[in-house]
A and B are shown apart, each in its own frame.
Chain A
Amino acid sequence: MAEHDLLVADIDEQLIRNEATLIERIRKGEKELFHELIQPYERSVYLSAYSILRNQSDAEEVAQEALLKAFAHLDQLRSTDKFKAWLLLIAVNEARMRLRKEHRHLFESLEEQTMETEEGDFMPRQFADWREIPSDILERKEIRTAVQNALNTLPEKYRDVFILRDMQHLTVTETAQVLRLTIPAVKTQLHRARLQMREQLAPVFGKRWIERLPFWKGKNPW
C-alpha cells in the first residue's frame, strides 16, 4: 500500500474511533455532541434526499427529519463504524417515503432517458480527450448545473447507486446495504450509471479543451 493510502486509512480509522466515542457519549446523555457528530455528513444527507426528491426545499426538510430520526434511534445503531451508511439509509428511506406520499414517482418514467439498446448494451459516443481539469472549474455554476442535469437523466436506480458510491464515496458493500441491493446489482448499476454520466458530461467538460486541441478543426482523430 502506498504511503498516501496508508495515511488516508489512518485518518479514516481515527475518524471512526472519534465517532464511536461521540456516539457513546451522546448515548450516555451528552446530546449536544450530536451537532458535532453529524457535521461531516450534513451535505451527504441533503444530497441523498435531493437525489430522490429533486426539490431543494423538500430535500432540506427530509434531511432535517432524517437527522432528528437518527438522533432518536441512535441506540439502535449496532456498529458504530457504520454510522455514515446508517445515516444515509435513514435519509434515503425518509425521502422515498415522502416521494410515495406525493406520488411523484408516477412521473419518473417520463423523465428517464437511457442510452441502452434493447439488449441492455451501452454504446458510448466518442469524444476528444480531456486535458487537465483546472481546479476552479469545480466551483463554476455551469459545471454544477451540468452535473445536476446529467444526474437527472439517469434512471432512479442508477442515480441512487451513483450518488452513494461516486459522490458520497461509500464502498460498494455500504451502497448495497443502504439500497438493500446485492453487490453484483450495485456493480452493474454503477457501471451503467458511470457510462451514462461520462456520456453526458464529457462534451460539457471537454468543450473548452477541445477548442485548443490541434485536431479540433478537422474531425476526431480516430
Chain B
Amino acid sequence: MVKCDRVLQELSNYIDEDVDPSLRAAIEEHVRGCHRCSVLVDSARKMLYVVGDERVFEVPVGYSERLHARLAQHLGRA
C-alpha cells in the first residue's frame, strides 16, 4: 500500500506508464480511495491534454507563408 507522498513522488512516471506493474497497482488502489490523489492525477492528466493540443499554441499570423517564401528564395539560390 502506498501513501499520498509516494503518489506525488511518482506522479509523472505513473502518468507516463513508467512504473513497474506492482507499484502501478498500488498507486491505482490508493488513488481509488483517496479523493485528494485522484484530483492530483486527474488534473495533471487534463493539464497535459490541454497543453499537448496544438490549438492551444498560437504562431504569428502569416508565419507559415513567410517561412515558405524565404525557403523558396533560398532553395532557388541553393
Contacts and interface: CB of A to CB of B under 8 A. Distances in A.
A, B bound:
yes
A130 B42 contact: yes
Interface of A: 31-32, 34-35, 38, 42-43, 46-47, 56-57, 60, 63-64, 67-68, 71-72, 122, 124, 126-130, 133, 137-139, 143-144, 147, 166-167, 169, 172, 187, 190-191, 194-195, 197-198, 201-202, 205-206, 221-222
A27 to B, nearest CB: 13
A144 B56 contact: yes
Interface string B23-67: 000000000000110111011101111111111111110011011
Majority SS of interface residues in chain B? helix
B51 A167 contact: yes
Contact of A128 (B39, B47, B72): B39
A202 B43 CA distance: 7
B50 A143 contact: yes
A194 B12 contact: yes
A42 B64 contact: yes
Interface core residue of B13, B47, B52 (most chain A CB under 10 Å): B47
A221 B46 contact: no
A76 B16 CA distance: 32
Contacts of A34: 71, 75
Contact of B59 (A46, A143, A197, A198): A46
B56 A147 contact: yes
Contacts of B1: none
A126 B34 CA distance: 13
A32 B75 contact: yes
A32 B18 CA distance: 41
A138 B55 contact: yes
Contact of A187 (B12, B46, B71, B75): B12
A126 B70 CA distance: 48
A129 B56 contact: no
Contacts of B60: 56-57, 60
A102 to B, nearest CB: 19
B12 A71 contact: no
A133 B67 contact: no
A208 B15 CA distance: 25
B46 A133 contact: yes
Contact of A166 (B52, B70, B72): B52
Given A124-B8, A129-B42, A191-B13, A60 B66 contact: yes
Contact of A197 (B51, B58, B67): B51
Contacts of A67: 67, 71
